[in-house]
Amino acid sequence: MSERALLVTRAQVRGAVVDVRIDGGRITAIGDDLATDGAATLDAGGGALVPGLHDHHLHLLAMAAARRSLDAAVLPDGAALDAAVSRRHVDREGDRWLRIVGIDDRHGPVDRARLDALAPGRRVRAQHRSGAAWVLSSPALAAVGEEVDDGWIHRRDAELGRRWADDAPDLAPIGAELARLGVTGATDATPFDDPSALTLLAAAHGAGALPQRIVATGSPALATIRAPHGVERGPVKVLVADEDLPSVEQLAGWFRIAHDAGRPVAVHCVTRLGLVLALAAWEDAGAADGDRIEHGSVLPIELLATVAELGLTVVTQPALLRARGDAYLVDVDPDDVDHLYRCGSLIDAGIPVGLSTDAPFGPADPWLAIAAATDRRSSSGQVVGAARPSPRPTPSTGCSPRRRLLAVRPGASRSAPADLVLLDRPLAEALADPSAERVRRTWIGGSLVHDGDPG
């Protein structure tokens, strides 16, 4: 709809019911009883018109790849996994790869011998639900030139990806799904070390398959690279990998590489030890504006003051409490459970928070993240940890200032980008029961990318 002006009438904006005019991809007026002046009209019926959501940490190419994979996350146990892999092996033509995602302890020990028995002669690769490791069958190991007794390979996604040379994933279904959820922007937090991945994202954006505004991280190896048109450079992704912990000096060196290139860092921290190492490196190298802790999976209360003093943002995924909370209550050290995926307590401490999903390694629905940040409940209804729930998470929670897109107030006439989501009810009612079903329409740059009530 960017070709023709649009007048959205009776929309709730910051608590007031007003009209909003969109022209040339931007908000040009907000007020009472605005003139049509040739614009198409849409009656919001009192529904909230809010800024488009920005998912601050997901993995777009992995999301696309996961769609054509066997999803073990929905399989309850090892017997179900074995049956599903055997069926997929029989149904799969020729010697094509069989890709599995989402395996974890529920499925029992998974190694090359088990994969070989389930799919004889087939190249099989199975990814742990964390995304941090793969286990490969013997033919798969031979195909990528590796020899590992149990078949497990950790933290080498970029290198392995070049070796198994999959076809380019189809990103159009991902763009459509994100639009349905009200997501108008996304930060791909994959530590790419090959610029070709950025080229894939840019091409999908340019073709309209991925209409969202895309920010990409990349590893320190890409710190100085110029992003292709259609992709914005974000922070440099730095891994604190618990199976191979870097030294404080090594971490600080990576931070300096990013800062010297004029970019902040986004530091992967999922354990207490990893966080302590990262904070020590920040104390050594210094923090820059925009530096972030990714996940903050375990963020002890006694470290919040240090995080705040350094001026760091925490990009967290509270929806994992809903998806995996019951397992966390069994498997996570009791001393750490109270510190899982904080949100409200971070806000109380003056720490900026970015909500995200970590899709496909967590649920892609940002409304589920809002709900889980509110009640901290697992799928069975148990409260996970004593960290304070967030009392009023909003769709724009965690958006950086430049992404608070509906910055104009009723009566204003200055222009703002029309990256917007229309809900089917007022904002307070939507937040009382957060759900993607509340999303009626989504616009990016004034163009309609999702219509939940066509006709």
Contact present, 444 and 53 (Cβ < 8 Å): no
The answer on pLDDT for 138 being more than 70 is yes
Reference 455, options 436, 435, 440; nearest CA is 440
The identity of residue 388, as a single letter, is R
**Separation of alpha carbons 349 and 353, rounded Å:** 11
Tell me the two tokens of residue 206: 């340019």
Mean pLDDT of 168-197: 93
Please report the pLDDT score of residue 198 as a whole number: 94
Tell me the two tokens of residue 32: 């009472």
pLDDT single digits (tens) 5-48: 999 999 999 899 999 999 999 999 999 999 999 899 999 999 99
Please report the pLDDT score of residue 27 as a whole number: 93
- Residue with more model confidence, 390 or 65: 65
Please report the pLDDT score of residue 4 as a whole number: 79
Contact present, 105 and 324 (Cβ < 8 Å): no
Q: Please state the pTM of the whole predicted model.
A: 0.86
**Separation of alpha carbons 45 and 124, rounded Å:** 52
Residue % of the chain over a pLDDT of 70: 90
Mean pLDDT of 372-397: 76
The bridge status of strand 133-136 relative to strand 124-128 is: antiparallel
The secondary element (H helix, E strand) that includes residue 231 is: strand 231-233
Please report the pLDDT score of residue 396 as a whole number: 53
One-character DSSP codes across 143-160 = HHT---SS-EEES-HHHH
CB atoms within 10 A of CB 375: 15
pLDDT single digits (tens) 389-398: 665 555 554 4
Contact present, 134 and 143 (Cβ < 8 Å): no
**Separation of alpha carbons 17 and 327, rounded Å:** 44
The identity of residue 237, as a single letter, is K
- State the Cα angle at 362 between 359 and 367, rounded to 5°: 85
Under the banding of pLDDT at 50, 70 and 90, the label for residue 274 is very high
CA distances from 131 to 16, 162, 345 (A): 44, 17, 27
The answer on pLDDT for 410 being more than 80 is no
Residue % of the chain over a pLDDT of 90: 64
The answer on pLDDT for 412 being more than 50 is no
Determine the 3-state secondary structure of 417 from DSSP.
strand
Q: Which of 51-65, 161-175, 332-346, 352-366 has the lowest mean pLDDT?
A: 161-175
Under the banding of pLDDT at 50, 70 and 90, the label for residue 404 is very low
The secondary element (H helix, E strand) that includes residue 451 is: strand 447-451
Q: Which of 96-105, 258-267, 350-359 has the lowest mean pLDDT?
A: 96-105
Under the banding of pLDDT at 50, 70 and 90, the label for residue 134 is confident
Q: Mean pLDDT score of the chain, rounded to an integer?
A: 88
The answer on pLDDT for 140 being more than 50 is yes
pLDDT single digits (tens) 113-133: 999 999 998 989 898 888 778
Please report the pLDDT score of residue 99 as a whole number: 87
Under the banding of pLDDT at 50, 70 and 90, the label for residue 73 is confident
**Separation of alpha carbons 6 and 10, rounded Å:** 13
Mean pLDDT of 420-449: 95
The answer on pLDDT for 214 being more than 60 is yes
Mean pLDDT of 65-69: 85
For 33-182, strand residue ranges (E) read: 40-43, 49-51, 53-58, 70-71, 98-103, 124-128, 133-136, 152-154
The identity of residue 318, as a single letter, is P
The secondary element (H helix, E strand) that includes residue 321 is: helix 319-331
Under the banding of pLDDT at 50, 70 and 90, the label for residue 86 is very high
The answer on pLDDT for 59 being more than 50 is yes
Tell me the two tokens of residue 373: 């940040």
**Separation of alpha carbons 375 and 234, rounded Å:** 31
